[in-house]
Amino acid sequence: MRNAMVQLCLVLIGVTSVHAVKLLQTSSLHITILPAEEVDKVWAIQGKDSIKMVGIDGEYYLSTVNPGRWQIHVEAKKPYRNASFEEVTIGPGAEKDLGGMKLKK
């Protein structure tokens, strides 16, 4: 019985370590878009992968993205135009604040 408990503890330590390493390798993105009420959808795009960003009052945040090159695409409501944020490179474990973007008519 004691041997089984030791093995269980070792497995739990191993699984926890794998997840901790994975969390250290993920990055995050933050962007503010104004006017907030004119934003329809915001997408973070990496190659063929895309993630829809959810925001509150113009603040959009993704907490677990893969490191690499990302582009932000904003779908705006009429009469505003869609916009894209230049491609940004995010390192492992980095938090990237892209600042603000103002939509144009």
Distance CA 103, CA 83 (A): 7
The more confident residue out of 74 and 1 is: 74
Question: Hey, which residues does 61 pair with through a beta bridge?
Answer: 30
Q: What is the mean pLDDT of residues 94-103?
A: 88
Question: What domains, with CATH codes, occur in the chain?
Answer: 27-102 (2.60.40.10)
Least confident segment among 17-21, 63-67, 79-83: 17-21
Q: What is the pLDDT of residues 48-72, one digit of tens each?
A: 889 999 888 899 998 888 888 999 9
Q: What is the pLDDT of residue 25?
A: 66
92 upstream amide cis, omega within 30 of 0:
no
Beta strands (DSSP E) in 5-67 are 27-34, 39-46, 49-53, 55-56, 59-65
Share of the chain above pLDDT 90, in %: 39
Q: Is the pLDDT of residue 104 over 70?
A: yes
Per the structure block, which two tokens stand in for 51? 């993630």
What is the average pLDDT score of the chain? 87
**Against a cut of 0.75, is the pTM above it?**
no
Which residue is it, tokens 């945040």?
61
